[in-house]
């Protein structure tokens, strides 16, 4: 019996963490919510995190909710683990597969699909569909061009849409990327909706394109995104192979940046969702973004990397809880203005603050690099809506994008006014 239990443990762990294996269904997978009350609870939960059958959807932090996805055959084990520590819990998602099936249902569309491209915002689309939309914009609007900034480890192009009236360069600029974590599908959906709003409704806010250049990277992790769609909906990392003896593939791109790399809040464990890679910039995806952004660091004044979930507006530093940047108060003031505008759209509240202040410590992250090394004036990482965790119904795409767009327009117009 012990041998059979061990084999079951290993098979489930391999399916969740080895990206050569399909996970056909998450039927019966539950998400448990626990809140550590003291340092001993945190230590205990970090021990649980080392068990690969448990997929931690949120980082472990004192007095904050920790959400953990557990396969059905290990519910009793999880509950026994928690009871042994005296930790109470609630099951916030009784069946992950139900959410995945609901996610596939198209929302009631506000508009007709275009004959010129495959993108809509009433469902979640493939990378090819997103790229078809970039092709359409480039062919239709004379101030839109696209560029492949490089390839992924599996050879997929990383395409940036460039919105530049009068040619790129010479104006202040905006960088927005999405999908750095593969399973966060609402991120690229939101980024492409904002791209559409900026370009196709230009007449309604032409000041934003007259005074600024814009760079959109819809998917910063194309390989992982493709895998999350075709093989394992909950896949997070890249698909690179760093010779794990357990067959665990991929790196967390948002722990792989070279500014304060590997200073806590990341992992050496190749099977961990927060594996930072064997060294900084081990991933071509990060190198591609780094080189593109750094070449324009004197123009880019606004940098946003869009994530989910948690409804947060995160500022640097992430690598330390002991200090913030010298200009933190200026960034906080701008972010708070954007938060208020966001909330005015649909009434949703997003908490604002430095990353460890309202979430957790994380080193090697892109906003720290963008502010600390590239010197970009305003940097932020947004965690979008969290109804259902990473699995957000498609009818939430447009409302989410509308409120995030309000954040951008408010902050950018305020920054522009302050430069005058």
The residues carrying an active-site annotation are 383
Query: What are the backbone dihedrals phi and psi of residue 196, each rounded to the nearest 5 degrees, phi first?
Result: -60, -45
Query: What are the backbone dihedrals phi and psi of residue 66, each rounded to the nearest 5 degrees, phi first?
Result: -120, 120
- Taking the C-alpha atoms of residue 271 and residue 333, their distance in angstroms, rounded to an integer, is 39
Q: What is the DSSP string of 283-328?
A: SHHHHHHHHHHHTTTTTEEEEEEEEESS-EEEES--S-SS---TTH
- Taking the C-alpha atoms of residue 239 and residue 102, their distance in angstroms, rounded to an integer, is 27
Query: What are the backbone dihedrals phi and psi of residue 144, each rounded to the nearest 5 degrees, phi first?
Result: -115, 130
- Taking the C-alpha atoms of residue 84 and residue 411, their distance in angstroms, rounded to an integer, is 48
Indicate the pairing of strand 157-163 with strand 144-151.
antiparallel
What is the radius of gyration, based on Cα positions, of the chain?
A: 21
- In this structure, what token pair is assigned to residue 212? 């600024």
- Taking the C-alpha atoms of residue 314 and residue 316, their distance in angstroms, rounded to an integer, is 7
b/e code 50-86 from CB counts within 10 Å (16+ = b): eebbbbbbbbbbeeeebbbbbbeebeebbeebbeeee
- In this structure, what token pair is assigned to residue 167? 């040619």
Residue 250 near residue 283, CB atoms below 8 Å: no
Q: What is the DSSP string of 24-48?
A: ---TT-EEEEE---SHHHHHHHHHH
The long-range contacts involving 163-169, CB below 8 angstroms and separated by at least 24 positions, are 163/195, 163/198, 163/199, 163/209, 163/213, 163/214, 163/215, 163/216, 164/213, 164/214, 165/209, 165/210, 168/213, 169/213, 169/296, 169/299
Nearest CA-CA partner of 340 in 419, 287, 266, 406: 406
């Amino acid at each position: 019996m012990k041998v059979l239990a061990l084999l079951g443990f290993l098979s489930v762990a391999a399916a969740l963490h080895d990206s050569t294996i399909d996970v056909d269904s998450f039927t019966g997978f539950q998400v448990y919510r626990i809140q550590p009350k003291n340092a001993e609870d945190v230590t205990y939960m970090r021990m649980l995190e080392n068990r690969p059958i448990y997929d931690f959807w949120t980082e472990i932090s004192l007095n904050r909710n920790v959400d953990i996805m557990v396969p059905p055959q290990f519910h009793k084990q999880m509950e026994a683990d928690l009871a042994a520590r005296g930790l109470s819990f609630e099951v916030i998602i009784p069946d992950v597969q139900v959410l995945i099936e609901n996610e596939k249902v198209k929302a009631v569309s506000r508009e007709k699909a275009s004959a010129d491209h495959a993108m809509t915002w009433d469902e979640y689309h493939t990378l090819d569909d997103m790229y078809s939309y970039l092709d359409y914009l480039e062919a239709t609007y004379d101030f839109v061009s696209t560029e492949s900034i490089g390839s992924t480890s599996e050879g997929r192009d990383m395409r940036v849409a460039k919105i530049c009236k009068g040619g790129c360069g010479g104006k202040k600029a905006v960088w927005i990327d999405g999908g750095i974590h593969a399973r966060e599908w609402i991120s690229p959906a939101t980024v492409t909706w904002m791209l559409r709003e900026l370009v196709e409704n230009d007449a309604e806010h032409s000041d934003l394109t007259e005074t600024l250049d814009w760079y959109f990277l819809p998917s910063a992790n194309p390989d992982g995104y493709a895998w999350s769609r075709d093989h394992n909906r909950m896949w997070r990392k890249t698909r690179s192979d760093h010779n794990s003896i357990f067959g665990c593939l991929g790196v967390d791109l948002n722990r792989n940046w070279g500014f304060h790399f590997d200073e806590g809040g990341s992992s050496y464990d190749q099977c961990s969702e927060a594996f930072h890679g064997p060294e900084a910039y081990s991933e071509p995806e990060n190198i591609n973004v780094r080189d593109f952004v750094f070449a324009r660091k004197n123009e880019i004044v606004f940098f946003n990397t869009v994530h989910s979930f948690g409804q947060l507006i995160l500022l640097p530093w992430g690598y330390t809880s002991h200090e913030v940047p010298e200009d933190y108060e200026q960034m906080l003031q701008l972010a708070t203005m954007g938060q208020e505008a966001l909330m005015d759209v649909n009434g949703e509240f997003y908490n604002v603050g430095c990353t460890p202040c309202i979430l957790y410590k994380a080193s090697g992250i892109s906003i720290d690099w963008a502010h600390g090394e590239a010197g970009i004036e305003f940097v932020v990482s947004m965690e979008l809506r969290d109804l259902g965790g990473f699995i957000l119904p498609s009818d939430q795409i447009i409302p989410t994008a509308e409120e995030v767009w309000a954040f951008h327009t408010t902050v950018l117009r305020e920054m522009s006014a302050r430069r005058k």
